[in-house]
């Protein structure tokens, strides 16, 4: 399976993150702000994504976002080790 990389955009269309293992289609993803001890996502926010060359270049210096499970992504600085 190919690894798709996209840029994460805020409400003003500014690049704020680089998403790894992104969906091949669609224009929005859910990003959790935190997880409960049982692994449930909380503070989930939906962000637009972009596949444009210009935004992908800007995303290289932005915060990384990784897939947590099939439909939830998480900021790279979240400590997911507590979830087991």
Structural domains counted in the chain: 1
For residue 45, the enclosing domain spans 6-77
Q: List all residues 6 or more positions away from 74 whose beta carbon is below 8 Å from its beta carbon.
A: 31, 32, 35, 41, 65, 66, 68, 80
- 62 located within any domain: yes
- Residue 72, Ramachandran bin (φ over 0: left; ψ between -120 and 50: alpha; else beta): beta
pTM of the predicted protein model: 0.83
pLDDT value of residue 82: 52
- 50 located within any domain: yes
d(CA 37, CA 81): 10
- 84 located within any domain: no
pLDDT at 1 exceeding the cut of 50: no
Query: pLDDT grade, residue 3 (50/70/90)?
Result: low
- 58 located within any domain: yes
11-66 tens-digit pLDDT: 999 999 999 988 888 899 999 999 998 889 999 999 999 999 999 999 999 999 99
SS3 call for 21: coil
């Amino acid at each position: 399976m190919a690894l798709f990389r996209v840029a994460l955009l805020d409400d003003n269309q500014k690049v704020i993150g680089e998403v790894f293992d992104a969906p091949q289609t669609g224009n929005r993803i859910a990003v959790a702000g935190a997880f409960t001890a049982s692994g449930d996502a909380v503070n989930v926010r939906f962000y637009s994504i972009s596949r444009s060359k210009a935004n992908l270049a800007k995303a290289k210096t932005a915060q990384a976002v990784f897939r947590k499970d099939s439909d939830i992504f998480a900021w790279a600085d979240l400590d997911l080790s507590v979830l087991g």
